Amino acid sequence: MLLINHGDMPWDQLTEDEQKEVAADYEAVSRTPGVTPGEWLEEPALATTVRVEGGRTLTTDGPFVEMKESLGGYLFYEADDLDAAIALAARIPAARLGGAVEVRPLK
């Protein structure tokens, strides 16, 4: 699984041409054989964090922790090996725009 973490560069700071390039890059990654695209997530401020303590369900608006990088989306990739997954992760625009892509094996 590739977890796409957005950095602190907001989309609206990119020029229109840069936005088109980023969108085309994400589309190309999605069409890569072995990739099952996931879904984009809303911003962390819209999250609700759920915990159960002493049998009571507790909710908190927003993410639990402040972090520079927030999960923005994900995809699944049936890779031959870790090197192939890393190569694909390097093609994801968030990795070059101040974010990161976490490659995590599934059980």
* Domains of the chain in sequence order: 2-103 (3.30.70.1060)
pLDDT in tens, the chain (107 residues): 998 887 776 778 899 999 999 999 999 999 999 999 888 888 777 877 777 889 898 888 876 655 566 788 899 999 999 999 999 999 999 888 888 899 999 87
pLDDT at 49: 78
Give the pLDDT score at 65: 53
Distance CA 53, CA 13 (A): 41
Report the distance separating Cα 16 and Cα 24, nearest Å: 12
